[in-house]
Amino acid sequence: MKYKILILAITLLTFSCGKKDEPQNNTGKLKVGLVFDVGGRGDKSFNDAAYRGLEKAKQELGIEFEYIEPGPGADREAALRQFSNRKDISVIFGIGFIFTDEITKIALEYPDKKYACVDYTVDPAKTIPPNLVALEFREEEGSFLVGAIAGLLTKSNKVGFVGGMESPLIKKFQVSYEAGVKHVNPKCEVLIGYAGVTGDAFKNPGKGKELALGQYSEGVDIIYHASGVTGLGVFEAAREVKKFAIGVDSDQNDEAPGIVITSMIKVVDVSVYEIIKEVKDGTFKGGRVENFGLKSKGVDYVYSEKNRHLIPDEVHKRVETIRQEIIEGKISIPVK
């Protein structure tokens, strides 16, 4: 317990250096409430992407926002309800598939508020409330592409995957990545590791490093991670043994330049920003699914000045062909 407190105290002091008090005012500006997933802010990927969307909306649209980082279990509904009870907040976001049940329920209870849920699990048997937008991402399409990149680039014919919490969602990343690898390189072996079985597995860099070092020592030269903060440990391991990694959700190049070959990005930030813009412009329409795939560039892989030197032209060309084939429906991607 003492250690826990010490660690927390240090964390807090670190936080306190950067964070400034945000003045409270009731200027009648559009106010957004956002509830993060278990990983919370600072995961350098999924949740931070949502936060970037908020920041962008604040700067460009002049909105205000508040956020809550709930724990697992009953906190999600309580957090959504807390924002819904506030008069000054009119748009509420839930970040993560885990909010699906709660946000549906709350949206029905508060018909005057507007809701959006990233990674909402669409159930064809149920209707989406008229004040809720479901934001769905086709991670399998992006994962397939980075799988193809890994399969083309590997020299040892062994690549790895490190997942966060062993769950159907992350399984989808894994299976489609494997399919992408095998699509271009049927002989390539894929090693798989998961950091754990609870939400905490998304915030355990130590475990991520351990898993990655294990895979690298077995001859793997590229690891794709889908594990939130845990993935920072994968990069650390890659730096240590001078091998490669593939990032997820956000462009993670800056975490380990020269080592992160590319990242499978989900434009969570764009989706958050767009929804806020719609509300501001009065064009918000609920009860629908907004789909983000390769076609709409809702998911993609990073190919920029920063990492271009890591991806040879012929690999890039091949992957772009595959992209086209996926968009045209010529390749069907397994998800489980």
Partner 1 sequence: MPHWNKYLNLSAGPLLSIIVAMLIGAVFILAIGHNPLDVYYLLFSETLGNSYGIGQVLFKATPLIFTGLSVAIAFKAGLFNIGAEGQLNIGAFASAWAGFTFVSLPWYLLIPLSILAAFAAGAFWASIAGALKAKFGSHEVINTIMLNFIALALVSYLVNNVYLVPATIHTPGISPNAVLARFDIITGLFKGSPFNISFLIALAACIFMFYLIKITPLGYEITTLGFNRNAARYAKMNISRLTVAGLALAGGFAGLGGMNFVNGYKHYFEIGFSENAGYVGIAVALIARNNPFAVIAVAIFFGVLEYGGLTINTMVPKEIVTILQGLIILLVISLSYLFDKKNFRIKHSPAIG
Residues that bind partner 1 (CB under 8 A): 1-2, 4-5, 8-9, 11-13, 15-16, 19-21, 38, 66-75, 77-79, 81-82, 97-98, 100-101, 109, 121, 165-169, 197-200
Q: How far is the CB of 106 from partner 1 (least distance, A)?
A: 9
Looking at the Cβ atoms of 1 and 330, the one nearer to partner 1 is 1
CB of 333: closest distance to partner 1 in angstroms? 16
Report, in Å, the least distance between residue 79 CB and partner 1.
Answer: 6
> Which tokens in the block code for residue 141?
């399409």
What span, in angstroms and rounded, lies between the C-alpha atoms of 225 and 208?
A: 9
| 287 close to 320: Cβ distance less than 8 angstroms | no
Q: How far is the CB of 184 from partner 1 (least distance, A)?
A: 28
Helix axes 168-184, 313-327, angle to 10 degrees: 120
Q: Which is nearer to partner 1, 169 or 327 (CB)?
A: 169
Neighbours of 230 (CB within 10 A): 31
Give least dist CB 91 to partner 1, A. 15
**Least gap, CB of 109 to partner 1 (angstroms):** 8
| Residue 72 vs 312, nearer CB to partner 1 | 72
Nearer to partner 1, 57 or 149 (CB): 57
Segments in the chain forming alpha helices (H): 2-18, 46-61, 75-84, 100-109, 139-153, 168-184, 205-217, 230-241, 268-281, 313-327
Measured distance CA(212)–CA(191) in Å, rounded? 10
Q: Which is nearer to partner 1, 98 or 181 (CB)?
A: 98
Residue 61 or 78 having the CB closest to partner 1: 78
Of the candidates 112, 38, 20, 114, the one whose C-alpha atom is nearest the C-alpha of residue 76 is: 38
HEC string of 249-309?
A: ECCCHHHCCCCEEEEEEECHHHHHHHHHHHHHHCCCCCCEEEEECCCCCCEEECCCCCCHH
CA–CA separation, 135 vs 95, rounded Å? Answer: 10
